[in-house]
Amino acid sequence: MLTEFIASQAVRILDSTSYLGAAFLMALESMIFPVPSEAVMPFVGFQVADGKWDLGLAMLATSAGSLVGSLASYAMGYYGGRPFVLAVGRYLLLNVHDLEMTERFFNERRGSITLFIARFIPVVRHLISIPAGLGRMPILPFIALTVTGATLWNGFLLYCGMLLREHWTVVQHYSHQIDIGVVALLLAGIAWYVWSRRARLGAH
* pLDDT tens, position by position, 120-167: 887 778 888 888 888 888 899 899 999 999 999 999 999 988 988 876
CB atoms within 10 A of CB 150: 25
CB atoms within 10 A of CB 38: 12
Q: What is the distance in angstroms between the CA of the first residue and the CA of the last residue of the chain?
A: 42
H or E segment to which residue 95 belongs: none
Q: Give pLDDT, residue 57.
A: 97
Q: Give pLDDT, residue 195.
A: 72
Output the CA angle 168-172-178, nearest 5 degrees.
110
- In this structure, what are the phi and psi dihedrals at residue 174, rounded to the nearest 5 degrees? -105, 20
User: Cβ-count burial of 55 within 10 angstroms (0-12 exposed, 13-18 middle, 19+ buried)?
Assistant: middle
Identify which has the larger pLDDT, 65 or 179: 65
* pLDDT tens, position by position, 160-203: 889 888 765 554 444 455 455 555 666 676 676 667 666 655 55
**pTM for this one?**
0.74
* pLDDT tens, position by position, 95-118: 677 777 777 767 666 666 778 888
Confidence of residue 72 (pLDDT cuts 50, 70, 90): very high
Identify which has the larger pLDDT, 17 or 108: 17
Q: Give pLDDT, residue 83.
A: 79
Q: Give pLDDT, residue 171.
A: 47
Distance CA 136, CA 110 (A): 12
Amino acid at 68: V
Give me the sign of the Cα torsion angle 110, 111, 116, 117. Answer: negative
